[in-house]
């Protein structure tokens, strides 16, 4: 495989210390055969990253944050910098998730600044893009996602960044686009990434699909052209379901 698939679990605002048992269980079944086929990371709440570090490292799992501030430090009460996530044990961070864009009013410029901060700190940003149901029904899905890619990716970003396409209307709803819709969007996204980064970098950038991914539909979605893995929400909260998704690559 030119691009090693990545399956990333986004726990969102879920998980207490007892949830570390699920990361332990994931580590226990993330065997050499699956590790050779796909990279797995978990993005728990920031309160659990340092606690999960030893467990994840022992099992070969990566850890990520769910957001970061654009600045390295300062008077930003309640925020967490990319450097803090790195220090706690993270190697990735999600930026621009639709829930951040909608709940906190984050713009493409905000997302781009956070992606740049992640790279500054030595983290790999997972940059999220996606259209709402109204935008898709209006025929604007491609133009919306194209604009988000243009505005959210740092122009000088390296090829190891990750882009996640998450149709907003499919997140947590049980709805998923058709395979043809996913193929069209991911091919378009790769074209727009190349236009943004240049130099043939888009051939190395991993583009994940997210939005109601679960064990029952993972194999169908993960083998669509230009889909290089998944950003998994609810199904990542248990080892059984998360490994069930990742096992599409066995």
Q: Pick the catalytic residue: 69, 97, 106, 135?
A: 97
Q: Where are the beta strands (DSSP E) in the chain?
A: 6-10, 39-43, 62-65, 92-95, 124-129, 162-165, 206-210, 229-232
Residue position matching structure tokens 């959210």: 152
Q: Pick the catalytic residue: 22, 39, 135, 166?
A: 166
Q: Which of 15, 7, 23, 70 is nearest to 244 (CA)?
A: 7
Based on the residue annotation, tell me whether 76 is a catalytic residue of this protein. Answer: no
DSSP assignment letter at 69: B
**Phi and psi at residue 119, to the nearest 5°:** -65, -40
Q: Which of 72, 21, 17, 13 is nearest to 43 (CA)?
A: 13
Alpha-carbon span 32 to 29, nearest angstrom: 9
Alpha-carbon span 59 to 50, nearest angstrom: 15
Residue 10 forms beta bridges with which residues? Answer: 43
Which token pair is 18? 């007892």
Whole-Å CA distances, 84 to 71, 81, 118, 163, 164: 11, 5, 10, 22, 23
3-state class (DSSP) for residue 70: coil
Based on the residue annotation, tell me whether 97 is a catalytic residue of this protein. Answer: yes
DSSP assignment of 155-212? TT--TT-EEEE--GGGTTTS----HHHHHHHHHHHHHHHHHHH-TTGGGT-EEEEESS
Residues assigned a catalytic role: 97, 166
């Amino acid at each position: 495989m030119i691009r090693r698939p990545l399956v990333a679990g986004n726990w969102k605002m879920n998980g207490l210390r007892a949830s570390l048992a699920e990361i332990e269980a994931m580590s226990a079944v993330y065997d050499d055969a699956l590790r050779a086929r796909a990279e797995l990371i978990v993005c728990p709440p920031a309160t659990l990253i340092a606690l999960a570090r030893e467990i994840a490292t022992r099992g070969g799992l990566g850890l990520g944050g769910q957001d970061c501030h654009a600045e390295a430090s300062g008077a930003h009460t309640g925020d967490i910098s990319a450097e803090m996530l790195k220090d706690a044990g993270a190697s990735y961070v999600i930026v621009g998730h639709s829930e951040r864009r909608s709940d906190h009013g984050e713009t493409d410029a905000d997302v781009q600044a956070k992606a740049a901060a992640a790279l500054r700190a030595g983290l790999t940003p997972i940059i999220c893009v996606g259209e709402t149901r109204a935008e898709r029904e209006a025929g604007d899905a491609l133009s919306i996602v194209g604009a988000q890619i243009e505005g959210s990716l740092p122009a000088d970003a390296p090829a190891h960044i990750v882009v996640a396409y998450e149709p907003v209307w499919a997140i947590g709803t049980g709805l998923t686009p058709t395979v043809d819709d996913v193929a069209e969007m991911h091919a378009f996204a790769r074209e727009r990434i190349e236009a943004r980064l240049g130099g043939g970098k888009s051939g190395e950038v991993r583009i994940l699909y997210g939005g109601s991914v679960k064990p029952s539909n993972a194999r169908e979605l993960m083998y669509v052209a230009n889909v290089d893995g998944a950003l998994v929400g609810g199904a990542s909260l248990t080892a059984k379901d998360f490994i069930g998704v990742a096992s599409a690559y066995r």
